Structure 1
Amino acid sequence: MRKLLQNSIVCHGIGVLGTLILLHAITGFRDNLPLSVVNSFWLVSCAYIATSITIPKITNYLLVDRKYYILPVLTSVYAIAMALILLLRIDYSREVLLYAFSSHLVWMYFSAIFIKGPEKLQLSAINNFDVNSIDSQNKRINLSPLNEPLAMAAVADGLVVDLHNKLTPEQEKFVADCSINNIPVFHSESIREMIEGKVQTCHLSENAIGTLVPSPIYHNIKRVWESVLIILSFPITLPIMFVTSILIKLESPGPVMFIQERVGQGGKVFKIYKFRSMTVKQAGAEDKFATEEQARVTKVGRVIRKVRIDELPQFFNVLKGEMSLIGPRPEQESFVKQFEQEIPFYGYRHMVKPGITGWAQTVQGYADDTDSTREKLAHDLYYIKHLSFWLDMNIVLKTLKTMMTGFGAK
């Protein structure tokens, strides 16, 4: 029975069907249901399917535990459903939506905790790379080298091999046989990227550099959905920006906005907008990292930085096409010139538009020297290489957590 329920189609089919039966029971198993209830049945079914598709797509980018994403993803999907209801003026039942949300939440946690197999992904490796360098870095996988003679029966969840390193004819045949027999074959560096969430910047292969070219199709789609999301958020964000402007003006003399030149996509310089969170900088002062300017941060500035309100004016940078909601953070031109001399492949982060939030900000936090910037670049290149809607949604969820915890605020 447990093995049957581990099939995602069966598991989620039971989830949808069970919820509909429960809702029918709550409504009294009536033959002629009101239109609001029928509409709600369709909405909650679509919401469940959307959530069950989204969670694996998001968590596949890292070897992370899916159960931690259930509540935020399910809540986001239901929020989108409510927005559609209000926008399209669809008749709905609040009671049905509430019971359905609770039912979906319970079943998804049950299936994630009790039905799924072992926590660790059991991977086997052809020993043509340093196996221990990967195995020791993550608790979600168990990577063990295969003994000679190689046998497919010894491979559990997948085979890991350095596809760029030398293989014997027997090993090459074994890799081909595994692929033919639907056994997943992973490049060792791909597994390392999934674990660490970053791309190695010291020895990027030609293949890796080639895959850093983002999809032009998604790039255009991304621009549309980000612009729509910003415009829809204005009833909430504009009043927040108005109040913030007043508080900044009351606390310290100087302009409300902090405008600075930053380097964007293709190395082009643009002016970034932020709420001023520090006292006014003296004319001619040299550029410094934010960690070196803490003495200048105002009381209002400390609060708006912690919850990222100071970044809200960059919504207008996004609408102008200079930035994205999600992408590598834009840097000052003086720092860019310095890092291009000190850090290999630094210029590759300018292949996409800079963002208000990004993968490096949510995973690493703030960079305040060359070494931490080198680490930040590794995460930025991972984002560019795997740029997609699902990774962007992962970053959105992590950003919400960042806003609540203040992680990375300076």
Structure 2
Amino acid sequence: MNSEAAIKTHVKSPSTKARTKPAPYWLSQLLRLRFQLIGLLTVAALLPAFVRGGYTFAGMAAGNNLQTLTGVAAASVLGWFLHRRLSDFPGTLSTSYIGSAFAGSFGVTVLIYFLFRIDYSRSIFVVGFAVSIVWMYLVCILENRYKRFKLGFIPLGATGNLDDLDGVVWHRIENPAGALDGLDGIVVDLRADLDDVWERFIADAALHGVPVHHVKQIRESLTGRLEIEHLSENTLGSLNPNQVYLKVKHAADWIASALVLVVIWPLLLIVAVAIRIDSPGPALFIQERRGYRGINIKVIKFRTMRVGEIDPTDRESAKTVVADPRVTRIGRFLRVARIDELPQLFNILRGEMSLIGPRPEALPLSQWYESELPFYRYRHIVRPGISGWAQVNQGHVTEVDEVLDKLHYDFYYIKNFSLWLDLLIILKTVRTVIGGIGAR
């Protein structure tokens, strides 16, 4: 595991206060990934099959026990893998998505068995599913209690207030004679003007196997935000995200949107009629926004404001404020439930949007942000989405200083553009919708 992956694995939610206790040797070994997986397979798959087989190895292979054991083992491994990938990202408590990960893995396994008419024991699958969740909860609780990253930092340059960030046990290295014992790494502002003594200290740390991290890398891992200050130091590595995943995602978006529209079209009709009854005007609101590769698109939404309240050329009119008086009665409900966004599925079918991506801004706002914020246009390198990393972490913002923070979330999404981050955003979006958070 490389140093960046290690940071992502052990650095947990920024809201979790850093604390650590020395773990007994046997427990430290148990918390290693290989033993977590071995323990999971033992308690979720092998033990239930052994009990059902009459406590004999021959009985484990009798009847449908073998295919049941295989299915539970495969589902457990897949759930463990999904949980680990989802927990890699900042702001995600290790226990947050255990249920979702294993529900998905066991659900897929049961679906495969159903499609191929494979016989299996339903009771063992249920027991395996429940035990898998309990096991992973115990592992995560022990990890949070005993297995925390301890990082030393040199308080020069941009590292001065680094210990204000939670999620890591911080050690301030005040002088180059400081000991390295017990540190999982050292954080340095590599752009700071370090004297020869500090540079020798950093070199010695690397020679002794202590990883040295640039402060920007650590901030990114802890906050889920990425700043681009100079194009020459482009930390994204390339101005283009993964092209293979970009195409696969576009196809998956189209298929998923088509299937969802087939299912929810009665709801869309009911909402459209309710809007027409609630206030005069059309059911749909079409607004020009900046889209993929900087091309303007016409975004379709259910109308939630009174007709004539938005001037398409006025920047202030394009902003939505808390308890906006322009919003209709039914419009407020549609916004809280995010139902007003559903017509954007047609934008996805037209190839203009994605389910997940940076949110497209109204044209007057986008033009304003582009003139005020460096590299703002870079967010258009992927298709805009109905939901995104910035939305589930920050919510709705319009002022330039807030949009700058939002832009850093967008940059993080583009750098980490992947299936796993998209899945996490979908799960976070569901939580946001249920809680009615961030709507205006």
The Cα shift of 1:375 comes to 2.0
The alpha-carbon deviation at position 334 of structure 1 amounts to: 1.3
1:209-264 Cα offsets, whole Å, 9 max, x none, are 65362222221222233334334444543343233233323333322222221111
What aligned pairs does 1:270-349 form with structure 2 within 5 A after superposition? 270-281=297-308, 286=314, 287-291=317-321, 294-349=324-379
**Structure 1 residues 45-99: Cα deviation after superposition (integer angstroms, max 9, x where no partner):** 2222122222332332316431223223223333444444455555444322221
- 1:3 corresponds to which of 14, 28, 52: 28
Matches of residues 105-124 of structure 1 in structure 2 within 5 Å? 105-114=133-142, 118=146, 120-124=148-152
RMSD (Å), alpha carbons: 2.8
- Once residues 208 and 260 of structure 1 are traced to their aligned partners in structure 2, the CA distance between those partners, rounded to angstroms, is 33
The question of 1:199 aligning with 2:229 is answered no
1:211 to 226, 230, 237: 237
* Structure 1 partner of 2:390: 360
Distance in structure 1 (CA, Å) of the matches to 2:153 and 2:340: 48
How does 1:162-201 map onto structure 2 within 5 Å?
162-168=189-195, 171-172=198-199, 175=202, 178-179=205-206, 182-200=209-227
Note the alpha carbon deviations across 1:353-409, whole angstroms, 9 max, x for none: 111100110000101322222221121122112222222222122111111111111
Counterpart CA distance in 1 for 2:226 and 2:107 is: 34
Measure, in 1, the Cα distance between the counterparts of 2:277 and 2:140.
Answer: 51
**Structure 1 residue matching 2:325: 3-state secondary structure:** helix
CA 1:329 to 1:23, structure 2 compared with 1: closer, same or farther past 3 Å? same
Would you say the 8 A contact 2:379–2:411 is kept in 1? Answer: yes
> Structure 2: which 5+ runs fail to align?
1-25
Cα pair 1:212 1:384 within 8 Å, conserved: no
Structure-2 change in CA distance of 1:295 and 1:106 (3 Å)? same
**Number of the residue aligned with 1:15:** 40
Distance 2:36 2:311 in 1: 64
Looking at structure 2, the residues matched to 408 and 272 of structure 1 have their Cα atoms a distance apart, in angstroms, of 20
Identity of aligned pairs, percent? 32
Counterpart secondary structure, 1:290: coil
Contact 2:389 / 2:410 at 8 angstroms: preserved in 1? yes
- The answer (yes or no) to whether the contact 2:155–2:172 under 8 Å persists in 1 is no
* SS state at 2:433 partner: helix
Give per-residue Cα distances to partners, 1:292-324, cap 9 Å, x unaligned.
782232333222221212212212222322111
Aligned pair partner of 1:59 in 62, 68, 87: 87
Instruction: For 1:184 and 1:65, locate their aligned partners in 2 and report how far apart those are by CA, in whole Å.
Output: 25
Contact 1:197 1:382 in 2 (8 A): yes
- Relative to structure 1, is the Cα distance of residues 283 and 301 closer, same or farther in structure 2, using a 3 angstrom cutoff? closer
- Please report how far the alpha carbon of residue 121 of structure 1 lies from its aligned counterpart in structure 2 after TM superposition: 1.9
For this pair of structures, how many residues does the alignment match? 407
> Scaled by the length of structure 2, what TM-score is found?
0.83
Query: Is residue 2:48 matched to residue 1:27?
Result: no
Aligned to 1:73: 101
- Cα distance, 1:169–1:321 mapped onto 2, change above 3 Å: farther
TM-score normalised by the chain length of structure 1: 0.88
Instruction: From the superposition, tell whether residues 309 and 228 of structure 1 become closer, same or farther in structure 2 (CA, over 3 Å).
Output: same
DSSP-derived class of the 1:408 partner: coil
Q: What is the CA–CA distance in structure 2 between the aligned matches of 1:367 and 1:283, rounded to whole Å?
A: 18
Q: Decide whether the 8 Å contact of 1:120 with 1:141 is kept in 2.
A: yes
Moved more, 258-267 or 25-34: 25-34
CA contact (8 A) 1:199 1:381 kept: yes
